């Protein structure tokens, strides 16, 4: 999550923009893995791809279409 937010917005601003509660955003920033539904919300809020979100959380996306 840190990598995704870097230079874009604070965790507090992201929480407000995404509707994800701030304590949950802190958990994701600490490494907790989001569900696919939350990953979509993260991608939409930060205007990035699901592949970028997956990579930021340490998922190996090699071999996936569009990765």
37-61: pLDDT as tens digits: 999 999 999 999 999 999 999 999 9
Please determine, for residue 17, whether its predicted confidence score (pLDDT) is greater than 90.
Answer: yes
**Predicted model pTM:** 0.89
Write out 1-67 in H/E/C secondary structure: CHHHHCCCCCHHHHHHHHCCCHHHHHHHHCCCCCCHHHHHHHHHHHCCCHHHHHHHCCCCCCCCCCC
Give which of 30, 26, 1 is closest to 12, Cα–Cα: 26
Give 2-56's CATH code, choosing from 2.120.10.10, 1.10.3860.10, 3.10.580.10, 1.10.260.40. 1.10.260.40
């Amino acid at each position: 999550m840190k990598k995704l937010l870097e230079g874009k917005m604070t965790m507090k601003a992201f929480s407000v923009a995404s509707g994800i509660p701030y304590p949950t955003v802190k958990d994701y920033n600490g490494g907790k893995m989001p569900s696919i539904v939350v990953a979509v919300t993260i991608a939409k809020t930060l205007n990035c791809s699901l592949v970028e979100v997956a990579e930021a959380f340490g998922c190996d996306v090699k071999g996936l279409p569009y990765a």
